[in-house]
Structure 1
Amino acid sequence: MATKASRNNSVFPREDVQTIFSRINVPLERFKGTDLGKHSPIDGEKLCELGLTDEAGLNRAIDDAQQAFLRWRTVPAPERGKLVYTFAELVRRHKAALAAVVTLDCGKTETEALGEIQEVIDICDFAIGLSRQLYGLTIATERPEHRMAETWHPLGIFGQITAFNFPAAVWSWGAMIALVCGDSVIWKPSEKSPLTAIALSGLMDQAIAACDSAPAKLAQVVLGGAELGRQLASDTRIPLVSATGSTTMGRDVAARVGARLGRSTLELGGNNAAIVSDKADLDLAIRGVAFAAVGTAGQRCTSLRRLIVHESIADEFVARLKTVYAQLRVGRPDDPDVHVGPLIDERAHQQMASALQQASAEGGSVFGGERVLEDQYPDAFYVNPAIVSMPAQSDIVEQETFAPILYVMKYATIDEAIALQNGVSQGLSSAIFTTDMREAEYFLSASGSDCGIANVNIGTSGAEIGGAFGGEKATGGGRAAGSDTWKAFMRRATNTVNYSSSLPLAQGVEFDV
């Protein structure tokens, strides 16, 4: 593994959370309370105490968001883009401080935390350009002297429920697009990583205050657990709800939104697989597999969970991968020399330990997976990433465990490999490592990967904001970030204009009175 920059080159401000918030001029006290004690996954230390939003508070937020929407929808889209530009400049200015908050909040390493804040900046840049490209269509009409077109209009309040592992990026993928589309935003972050949301919403408040056309309460944060999310999903005043998290949570959200005929976009579980062909560049594959499997301590929805290796190279490849794993540095994520930080909490560690135990019972051979640094950090949960050689795709392999566990299986033919990859309920991200053009194109074809993301010669994680992000099957079918996902944030109207003096009807229908 490549050696990272030395500790002396760290860009992090090594300060407590209150000092960091003061430096970005965001008052942490606005969420002060005693409902939630926020502890850092780095060492278990309590960082602060926060107040949660009750039902009445959520109702007030929704009322305020509706009033803000009624004003914001009349602002020209390029002007709305200026708000996002102002916010992006604030994020650029405070990138290091925001990354430090991400690390304190969810335990990401310095480089990954900086990368996440860069994603916020990138989607802002995308949204600013999009604010001048919200195009409709002119449609051919069968009637003379008529014009048919489609127009796109702001939708309303965008309700967003996000997970702990990407406390900044996932919100920005939706919120920045929603804002340029003319919507207002209510964000319920995970109660496991609320500090990033408070920091970013504070900067957004500063941007709103600096833009004359932007109404107050245009983008709000509410803090709470599952019950607050259920209330948000059930409220008929919110036409669009986005949810990122477990499949179980997504089914609940979809049912509540669907019951009131609202819209939902879901990005849920991802039991992602990579195929390593006997025609692969193995050096490239090793690097791609290692980061995809251990990055963010395996706590990405796109983390690599299943490795499907051609039987002729499997033993060699796994041996090399174990050598790489043995070199991984597990430790405090605010140390730039560390590769793997902590799991988010004790429950995550318990789930990992249980999964490894079940894998062993199902015939798996486990390498790694031990808890480490327990003496130094008894209230934090650091683990060695695990490689588990499996005889088949058993029950535990078909489940997603949100931890650095990589199940390895062998295959003989490309059809067998694709069947293994597609043979789980989730369908988020996938990859193949091969130098064979036919294998690569087959993998990308309708007969290949059934996932929303299909990569060739790169890992399953690390998507760029320009493409639509999301997956199929139990992953929920939703899309976020780039491409044409903006259409989910707007309502479409088909318009027909008759500029003649007659009234011909479509399909040749005649009606004379």
Structure 2
Amino acid sequence: MIQKPELPAIPGLDEVFVANRFVASTGGEMLDVICPADEEVIASVRMPSVEDADRAVAAARKAFDEGPWPRMTIDERADACSRLADALESRLPTMNLAWMLEAGAPIAHGEMINSGAGKLVWRNAIEKARTLPFEEVRDGPMGRTVIRREPLGVVLSILTYNGPVVLMGMKVIPALLAGCSVIIKPAPESPLTSRLVAEAIEEAGLPEGVVSMLAAGTTVTQHLVSHPGVDMVALTGGTAIAVDVVKRTAPRLARTILELGGKSPAIIADDAPLDTVLPTLVAGASGFLGQVCVSLSRILVSEKRHDEVVEAIGEAYRGLKVGLPWDPSVDRGPIAVKRGRDRAESMVNRAVEQGARVVAGGRRPAHLNRGWFYEPTLLDDVTNDMEIAQEEVFGPVTAVITYRDMDEAIAIANDSKFGLASSIYTQDADLAMDVARKIQSGGVAINAAGVSLTEPFGGFKQSGWGRECGAEGIFEFTDQKQILMSGSYLDA
């Protein structure tokens, strides 16, 4: 049996990270960190208090209102963020190991999403920022105007446990590049990786107060969201949390960016060869046990190809090895949180009661008697009005839905309150673009799964507001100002 690796050295377990450094908490409780693979306590960490949150806001406020950071040139901020990227990258192997132990992500998944995608995303943002038009002169019918992009203020970035490292490149570094000061609020399930990220921030030597990181629980998080010193909340999370955030920011009209959940469809056209479909479809539907916002949780297949497709995907799901994430032969580890395992289990049970059929999975693995494991599950005989087709599971559950023709497939795909990602598999390039234009989602992949994280990404409908990544993801953290140099509407 492969031995569980030792927990790497983690800084500041009994401290909180406020104003670019580890400091003593004003009274936060200790939290046990439980490994989801064996339910063992692997560490105890200090939780931040409301008073710690107030200290972080005060420091961020002072850094923005009085400090040098918003007044630096974009090249100066990019150089500082490049130092931060260096510090993050030097810790990636340790962060991947810590993430495996606290969230159950196999090392291979961490290397893909953190060491691969994460590094690419933040390096792209840093280099792109250097060339963006933060100031431009426009000549129009009412005269000459300078248009400036100025940093918005103090940003609260709320991260999730399924991507605490890569989200640095999607949410935090773009806000820093724009000139904002940032309070990072990782999930309380990410206390180890967040402290390693904090250590990297400390090493980067940013101006005092520009960054704080508090892996807070609900009470402290709600206090931060409601805080009058916070100018913007950038959230990755679920719909219910987003509604609460909007209610708490509404009285002061604080800005919000919301990257939320999805019920992403994958349409398989009749001409799509399964040998090219399956590799990305199976990974896109079951990777990290479905704990991915863009997970392809609805597979749409024609009545003509139904049996063939269901059999092939079912076989692929049954071939996935579920087990301890430190075993390199394992394809999928545990679900990161117990409530996630319980939610997936209960939703599958209700789907079966409503008429769905379990093709693969649908149970806790028999050979694992500890940990929050659930087998990658494929459900057939699903109709789009069922709960399992309409609500996000955020777990390893994929529903197969049949369609008669492509028009019906598109209608089914769009019959959802969500609109985050989607895929169309076909050899017909014209059909692919036609379907891509008609699907109501922020991203459509052709003969692939996922989205580009170096271009603007976000959701339609209840999948979110605003865009992350690319130039647009940096400009989300700015306000536009016009400086009228000559002319006026009074002269019109």
Q: TM-score range by the shorter chain?
A: over 0.9
In 2, the alpha carbon distance for the partners of 1:74 and 1:505 equals: 29
Judged with a 3 Å threshold, the aligned counterparts in structure 2 of structure 1 residues 53 and 391 are, in CA distance, closer, same or farther, namely closer
Over 3 Å counting, the alpha-carbon distance change for 1:377 and 1:65 in structure 2 is farther
Contact residue 269 and residue 302 of structure 2 kept, 8 A = yes
CA shift, 1:169, in A, is: 1.2
Distance 2:457 2:97 in 1: 26
**Matches for 1:472-487 after TM superposition, within 5 Å:** 472-487=460-475
Tell me how many residue pairs correspond in the alignment.
477
Q: How far off its partner does 1:225 sit?
A: 1.6
Q: What's the counterpart of residue 188 of structure 1?
A: 185
Alpha-carbon separation, structure 1, partners of 2:126 and 2:343: 41
Amino acid across the alignment from 2:55: R
Task: Out of 277-286 and 421-430, give the one that drifted further.
Answer: 277-286
Give 1:388 shift.
0.5
Distance 2:163 2:145 in 1: 42
User: Deviations for 1:322-357, whole angstroms, at most 9, x for unmatched residues?
Assistant: 111121110111222111110123221221111111
- The aligned residue for residue 395 of structure 1 is 386
Partners of 1:278 and 1:417 in 2: CA distance: 12
RMSD after superposition = 2.0
For the pair 1:454 / 2:439, whether they are aligned, the reply is no
Identity of aligned residues (%): 26
Q: Residue 362 of structure 1 contacts residue 394 of structure 1 at CA under 8 Å; is this kept in 2?
A: no
Partner residue in 1 for 2:20: none
Mapped partners of 1:390, 1:467: distance in 2: 36
1:83-102 deviation digits (Å, cap 9, x = unpaired): 11112112222221111111
* SS in structure 1 of the partner of residue 350 of structure 2: helix
Deviation for aligned residue 1:276: 0.2
Indicate which of 25, 35, 52 corresponds to 2:47: 52
- Unpaired runs of at least 5, structure 1: 1-6, 209-213, 499-503
Matched, 1:321 2:313: yes
Higher Cα Rg, which structure: 1
1:150 and 1:341 map into 2 onto residues whose CA distance is: 50
Indicate the residue corresponding to 2:429 in structure 1: 437
Partner of 2:172: 175
Counterpart for residue 13 of structure 2? 28
In structure 2, how many angstroms separate the alpha carbons of the residues matched to 1:369 and 1:348? 16
1:506 counterpart = 2:452: no
| AA matched with 2:102 | D
* CA–CA separation in structure 2 for the residues paired with 1:390 and 1:219: 50
Aligned to 1:38: 33
8 Å contact from structure 2 (residues 47, 215) kept in 1: yes
Q: Residues 85-120 of structure 1, C-alpha deviation per residue, up to 9 Å, x if partnerless?
A: 112112222221111111112111111111222233
Partner of 2:71: 74
Which residue number in structure 2 is paired with residue 420 of structure 1?
412
Tell whether 2:349 aligns with 1:361: no
Change (3 A) 1:373 1:280: closer
1:17-416 maps to which residues of 2 (within 5 A)?
17=7, 19-21=8-10, 26-31=11-16, 34-69=29-64, 70-71=66-67, 72-118=69-115, 119-135=117-133, 136-143=135-142, 146-208=143-205, 214-373=206-365, 376-378=368-370, 380-396=371-387, 397-416=389-408
Tell me by how many angstroms 1:430 deviates.
Answer: 0.5
Residue 380 of structure 2 aligns to which amino acid in structure 1?
S
CA distance in 2, matches of 1:306, 1:444: 16
Q: Distance between the aligned counterparts of 2:9 and 2:369, measured in 1?
A: 23
CA contact (8 A) 1:85 1:128 kept: yes
Structure 2 counterpart of 1:138, which letter? Answer: V
Please say if residues 414 and 439 of structure 1, whose CA atoms lie closer than 8 Å, have aligned partners that are also in contact. Answer: no
Letter in 2 for 1:410: T
For residues 406 and 286 of structure 2, the distance between their equivalents in structure 1, rounded to whole angstroms, comes to 26
Aligned counterparts, 1:464-475, within 5 A: 464-475=452-463
Question: What amino acid is aligned across from residue 126 of structure 1 in structure 2?
Answer: N
Question: What is the TM-score with the length of structure 2 in the denominator?
Answer: 0.92
Q: Distance in 1 between matches of 2:383 and 2:159?
A: 34
Matching residue's letter, 2:279: R
> 1:80·1:131 contact (CA, 8 Å) conserved in 2?
no
The SS at the match of 1:56 is helix
TM-score of the superposition, structure 1-length normalised? Answer: 0.89
CA distance in 2, matches of 1:268, 1:117: 20
Aligned to 2:22: none
8 A contact 1:99–1:116 mirrored in 2: no
Query: What do the CA deviations read for 1:244-276 (whole angstroms, capped 9, x no partner)?
Result: 111000011122122211100001111111000
Q: How far did 1:15 drift?
A: 4.3
Specify the code of the residue in structure 1 equivalent to 2:73.
P
Deviation at 1:177, TM superposition (A): 0.8
Matched residues in 2 for 1:127 and 1:450: separation? 27
Please state how far the C-alpha of 1:417 moved relative to its aligned partner.
Answer: 0.3
Shift in Å, 1:62: 0.4
Q: Does 1:497 align with 2:477?
A: no
Equivalent residues of 1:367, 1:387 under 8 A apart: yes
Paired AA for residue 168 in structure 2: W
2:489 corresponds to which letter in structure 1? A
Q: Deviations over 1:416-470 (max 9, x none)?
A: 001101101111111100111232111122xx110001111002x3x33211221
Tell me the distance in 1 between the aligned counterparts of 2:382 and 2:395: 21
Inter-CA distance 105–481: structure 2 relative to 1 (3 Å threshold): farther
Deviation at 1:234, TM superposition (A): 1.2
Residues 286 and 120 from structure 1, CA distance in 2 versus in 1: closer, same or farther, beyond 3 angstroms?
closer
SS at match of 1:469: coil
